[in-house]
Amino acid sequence: KPFKRILLTGAGGGLGSILRERAKEWADIVRLNDVKDLGPAREGEEIVIGDLGDRDKVMSMMEGVEAVLHFGGISVEDKFEPIMNANILGLHHLYEAIHKCGVKRVIYASSSHVVGYYKTTDLVDAHMPLRPDGFYGISKAFGEALSRYYYDRFGTETVCLRIGSSFPEPKNSRMMVTYLAYDDLVQLISRSLFTPRVGHTITFGTSDNATKWWDNKHAAHLGYAPQHSSSEFAGKFPDSADYPEAGDATTIYQGGPFVTAGPMYK
């Protein structure tokens, strides 16, 4: 296998639990981290339970690791403090440890919510200014900046995946645009791990959906070619079925319900 040991954070989460199985093809040992119980270690697994806000814990979980799949932290809008602990302080700990242990490559689960305040009529690429749609999006933007710094300063390579909506299937009409099939997510991670040079790359993670809000031209070197499309679920969400009304903020902006989700909005 290409790697001896990779670290998967957030292994108990929605995507982490998918990757727990799928990452096995990439490494002899997949070390799993989460704050919550992950059950017993299966073959080829090591388990480290602990909070990303705990610096010593993060340092110790990085020993012997060659590549990191960072899917840990808070994955939706929340109050600032929990986001600060897991996604900001936690990310700082993670990169400190990555640098100290000489990890060469990181796959960072960013989010489309770093650009959630673009309109649904915009086409966004990775060189356009960030427009986060809440504390969660801001924390993901912090991760993109922090990883950029570690590449410029130390040469640590990171691929930031601005994941759309990766679920078994789209749950509403917005997700017909943002949907990322699990198989395509796995291909995207694999391309991100095995493309010889990635430097600091930002890529949008969607399947080959009919409507596109994001242009991946700055990540063409990854050679990502999605095999799925939300059109496999065509007809499930007739025109704007789940949208409140035209002119509502969640219809105008790409972030959808996230733009009105946060404590700041209330």
Residues with catalytic function = 136
Indicate the residue among 65 and 115 with the shorter CB distance to ligand 15L: 115
Indicate the residue among 156 and 216 with the shorter CB distance to ligand 15L: 216
With vertex at residue 214, the alpha carbon angle to CA 169 and CA 111, rounded to the nearest 5 degrees, is 65
Q: Considering the complex, what minimum distance in angstroms separates the CB of residue 104 from ligand 15L?
A: 26
Q: Which of 178, 201, 216, 230 binds ligand 15L (CB under 6 A)?
A: 178
Q: Say if residues 163 and 109 touch (Cβ distance below 8 Å).
A: yes
Rounded Cα–Cα distance for residues 46 and 247 (Å): 49
Site for ligand 15L in 42-81 (CB under 6 A): 75-76
Is 173 among the residues that bind ligand 15L (CB under 6 A)?
A: no
Rounded Cα–Cα distance for residues 128 and 225 (Å): 23
Indicate the residue among 76 and 234 with the shorter CB distance to ligand 15L: 76
Q: Which of 147, 158, 165, 190 binds ligand 15L (CB under 6 A)?
A: 165
Q: Say if residues 258 and 77 touch (Cβ distance below 8 Å).
A: yes
Segment lying near ligand 15L (by CB under 6 A), choices 107-115, 143-151, 194-202, 217-225:
107-115
Segment lying near ligand 15L (by CB under 6 A), choices 38-46, 84-92, 108-116, 232-240:
108-116
Q: SS3 for 87-121, per residue?
A: HHHHHHHHHHHHHHHCCCEEEEEEEHHHHCCCECC
Indicate the residue among 158 and 165 with the shorter CB distance to ligand 15L: 165
Residue whose structure tokens are 């040991």: 5
Q: What is the DSSP string of 171-200?
A: -STTHHHHB--HHHHHHHHHHHHHSS--SE
Segment lying near ligand 15L (by CB under 6 A), choices 109-117, 125-133, 143-151, 207-215:
109-117
Binding site for ligand 15L (CB under 6 A): 75-76, 111-113, 165, 175, 178
